[in-house]
Amino acid sequence: MRRKTTARLGLPALLLAAACAGTGLASTASAAPAAPRGESQPLASAGLLKAMQRDLGLTPAAARERLADERQAVRTERAAKKAAGAAYGGSWFDADRGRLTVAVTGRKAAADVRGTGADVRVVRRGAAQLDAAKARVDKLKAPKGVASWRVDPKANSVVVDVVEGHRADNDVSAFLRRARATAPVRVGTVPEVPSTFAAGTVGGDPYYTGNVRCSIGFSVHGGFVTAGHCGQAGAGVRGWDGSTIGSFQGSSFPDNDYAWVSVGNGWWTVPVVLGWGAIPDRLVKGSAEAPVGSSICRSGSTTKWHCGNLLAKNETVNYSGGAVVHQLTKTSVCAEGGDSGGSFISGDQAQGVTSGGWGNCSSGGETWYQPVNEILQRYGLTLHTA
């Protein structure tokens, strides 16, 4: 039985006992998102505060304050969505003010939402209308010069990002004309075409399938979730030491970018995200979705631990090579080859698995992830939580 993994994770003996007791349970009893476990303040270790100071330019005190504000914003967003009902138009977190703003389409809904403690902006289009508009754009074939598109609740429109220097290209101009004919569109720019973050076999703390190295996302009962472009259903998976873990039980790419891998052969699952020495390993206590504007951190086998901001949700990305992936979340966190499939986490709440992006962790960039709750629902999995 392979027990080196537990030593590498540095888990307390009590947690190990609980984790091992839960192995082999390929549960499909609940497809619902995992709920937060308790309402205690988020763990603000010295390492986490240092990472936020490095990547977000915050002092330790400002990082603690931001984490507390973001935890409150998660609670406020749930209440505001319920209060707004069909008038809900999206929401975003303002890190400078420490407050959540909620867009609504009517004055009555605005009054109800203010009662939840959120700031309010009255807009023309609701979230359902914007999602339907984006779905129409999703049906268009995008050229290489178009990087991605998403619903932007702040702009109350669909934002299409074009690679710098390509807006005047005939095929890009034609795509934008067709998009504007079917949806309220604004145009932005990005410096380069996004790509996925799989890589050839190198050393580290990864998993391998064939000659591809990727990163584990989050433990579920019976296995772990990761990126779909890392392997097809049925493909075998090896661990960091070369021993057999299991195999891909389900995989979707393109259109989606998610997969889940079974765990056996002496391996077991634990509710942990590696901090790689930058911070203590992070316990996973749920999968409550963070609002746009929140801080978020990523763990991967190449570039280890990095943090940034959650920029947008429900974005369609046109990766290099022509693979189009829907419903991704955009962040300012950097990533590199081999980080694919790795964990995006906000506080102690799982957010998603790394899909791809542009740039690197030397010069900076942006990275997208596939939301974890969608993966859990798709495959009927239950997140392994502490």
282 has pLDDT over 50: yes
Q: pLDDT tens across 230-244, in order?
A: 999 999 999 988 899
> Which entry of 55, 69, 152, 257 is annotated as an active-site residue?
257
pLDDT at 71: 94
pLDDT digits (tens, 9 = 90+) for 138-168: 999 999 999 999 999 999 999 999 999 999 9
Whether residue 257 lies in the annotated active site: yes
Look at residue 72 and tell me whether its pLDDT is greater than 60: yes
In the chain, domain spans: 1-58+125-386, 59-122
The Cβ of residue 107 has, within 10 Å, a number of other Cβ atoms equal to 11
Extract the tokens encoding 72: 């409150």
Q: Residue 277 has what pLDDT?
A: 79
Judged by average pLDDT, the poorest of 39-53, 90-104, 120-134, 297-311 is 39-53
Task: Name the amino acid, one letter, at 315.
Answer: E
Confidence check: pLDDT of 307 > 70:
yes
Quick one: which of 187, 142, 201 has its CA closest to 321? 142
pLDDT (tens digit per residue) in 199-227: 543 233 689 999 999 999 999 999 999 99
Give the pLDDT of residue 6: 28
Residue 37 pLDDT greater than 70, yes or no: no
Confidence (pLDDT) at 266: 87
* Residue in 152, 151, 153 with CA at minimum distance from that of residue 104: 153
Determine the Cα–Cα distance for residues 71 and 54; give it in Å rounded to an integer: 21
The C-alpha atoms of residue 191 and residue 265 are separated, in whole angstroms, by: 44
143: preceding bond cis by omega (within 30 degrees): no
Query: According to the model, what pLDDT value does residue 270 have?
Result: 86
| Rounded alpha-carbon distances, angstroms, from residue 42 to 48, 62, 69, 276, 382 | 11, 14, 11, 19, 22
What is the share, in percent, of the chain residues with pLDDT greater than 70? 86
Which tens digit of pLDDT belongs to each residue from 338-378?
999 999 999 999 999 999 999 999 999 999 999 999 999 99
pLDDT tier at 35 (50, 70, 90 boundaries)?
A: very low
User: Which letter does DSSP use for residue 86 in this model?
Assistant: G
Question: What is the side-by-side strand order in the sheet with 88-94?
Answer: 88-94, 99-104, 119-122
Quick one: pLDDT at residue 200?
44
Active-site annotation holder among 91, 152, 161, 229:
229
Inform me whether the pLDDT recorded for 8 exceeds 50. Answer: no
- Residues contacting residue 189 through CB under 8 Å, at least 6 positions apart: 161, 162, 163, 164, 167
CA–CA separation, 379 vs 370, rounded Å? 14
Q: Is 109 helix (H, G, I), strand (E, B) or coil?
A: helix
pLDDT at residue 18, as a whole number: 25
Residue 233 confidence (pLDDT): 97
pLDDT at position 283? 87
In CATH terms, 59-122 corresponds, of 2.10.25, 3.30.70, 3.30.300, 3.30.2010, to 3.30.300
pTM: predicted TM-score of the whole model, two decimal places: 0.80
Task: Count other Cβ atoms within 10 Å, centred on residue 29.
Answer: 9
Q: What percent of the chain has pLDDT over 90?
A: 74
What was the pLDDT predicted at 51?
85
Q: Is the pLDDT of residue 318 over 60?
A: yes
Confidence category of residue 44, pLDDT binned at 50, 70, 90: low
Residue 187: count other Cβ atoms within 10 Å of its Cβ. 15
Token pair belonging to 291: 């609002």
Chain segment 167-178, per-residue pLDDT in tens: 999 999 999 999
Residue 53 neighbours by CB distance under 10 Å: 15
Q: What are phi and psi of 39, to 5 degrees?
A: -125, 30
Maximum separation of any 2 CA atoms in the chain, in Å: 62
Q: What pLDDT was estimated at residue 276?
A: 83
Tell me if residue 173 is catalytic. Answer: no
pLDDT tops 50 at residue 284: yes
Out of 340, 343, 346, 355, the active site residue is: 340
Question: Which pairing describes strands 146-152 and 157-163: parallel, antiparallel, or unpaired?
Answer: antiparallel
Among 3.40.50.300, 3.30.365.10, 2.40.10.120, 1.10.260.40, name the CATH number for the domain at 1-58+125-386. Answer: 2.40.10.120
**Would the CATH topology of 1-58+125-386 be identical to that of 59-122?**
no
Strands (E), 128-243: 146-152, 157-163, 185-190, 195-196, 199-200, 207-209, 212-214, 218-220, 223-226, 236-238
| Other beta carbons less than 10 A from residue 281's beta carbon | 18
Whole-number Å distance between alpha carbons of 371 and 386: 20
**Do strands 324-331 and 343-346 pair parallel, antiparallel, or not at all (unpaired)?**
unpaired
pLDDT averaged over the chain? 87
Is 241 in the active site?
no
